């Protein structure tokens, strides 16, 4: 017995297929609008609302970074101040060492200590004392360069404050350079005196009184 073959006719089945596809698309669009679209709108709203929050967080982060940088700079300044105070020290502890160092340098250039003029200046407002040593150097600018290098290589705190032309004591044409070397010492007693001094009364008036 011959079995009857079922034949598929696209022309007859096209309409139901199209209807099924249309229903599937309609259900997909309905799901989109009913379920996904509100979620997307909610997400957009959250993103829009978080904009000011992100900006505020960015501003806050910049402020925190600025405070951290400022704090670090203060700590560095404090360390530098301690190092400077250690270098300056109290006058009585360093005066002999500084003068001995300058005398050693001058001896290398044939300069006697008795030819050096020393000037002291009290800086009460800063609780400091300035000591200037005026050194007469002969030999021209090449010798000056070597002298400055020797000063800069010293372990003591010495500053080449000024270089000026000098005159020879014997009237010769030999070039003499007066080099002013300065150093500074802590003078806490001067600060205490400045603090105790009544305001509005200068030092000369106090002496006259």
pLDDT at 190: 53
pLDDT at 179: 92
Quick check: 112 pLDDT over 70?
yes
Strands 176-186 and 159-166: antiparallel
The Cα–Cα gap between 140 and 146 comes to: 10
pLDDT at 92: 67
The answer to whether 154 touches 101, Cβ cutoff 8 Å, is yes
The separation between the first and the last C-alpha atoms of the chain, rounded to the nearest angstrom, is 149
pLDDT at 149: 93
Q: Does the global pTM surpass 0.75? A: no
Over the stretch 123-139, which tens digit does the pLDDT of each residue have? 877 778 888 999 999 87
- Of the candidate ranges 15-24, 52-61, 106-115, 158-167, the one whose mean pLDDT is the lowest: 15-24
Quick check: 178 pLDDT over 50?
yes
Which of the pair, 45 or 97, is modelled with greater confidence? 97
Q: Which pair of structure tokens corresponds to residue 103?
A: 């005398």
Q: Which pair of structure tokens corresponds to residue 74?
A: 């203060």
pLDDT at 160: 92
């Amino acid at each position: 017995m011959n079995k009857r073959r079922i034949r598929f006719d696209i022309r007859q089945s096209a309409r139901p297929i199209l209807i099924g596809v249309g229903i599937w698309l309609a259900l997909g669009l309905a799901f989109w609008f009913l379920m996904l679209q509100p979620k997307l709108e909610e997400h957009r709203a959250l993103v829009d609302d978080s904009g000011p929050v992100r900006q505020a967080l960015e501003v806050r982060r910049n402020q925190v970074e600025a405070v951290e940088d400022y704090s670090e700079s203060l700590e560095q300044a404090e360390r530098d101040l301690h190092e400077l105070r250690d270098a300056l020290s109290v006058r009585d502890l360093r005066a002999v060492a500084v003068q001995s160092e300058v005398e050693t340098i001058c001896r290398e250039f044939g300069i006697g200590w008795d030819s050096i003029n020393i000037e002291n200046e009290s800086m009460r407002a800063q609780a400091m004392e300035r000591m200037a040593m005026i050194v007469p150097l002969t030999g021209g600018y090449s010798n000056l360069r070597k002298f400055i290098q020797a000063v800069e290589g010293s372990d003591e705190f010495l500053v080449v404050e000024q270089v000026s032309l000098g005159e020879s004591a014997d009237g010769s044409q030999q070039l003499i350079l007066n080099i002013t070397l300065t150093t500074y010492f802590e003078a806490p007693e001067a600060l205490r005196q400045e603090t105790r001094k009544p305001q509005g009364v200068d030092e000369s008036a106090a002496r006259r009184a």
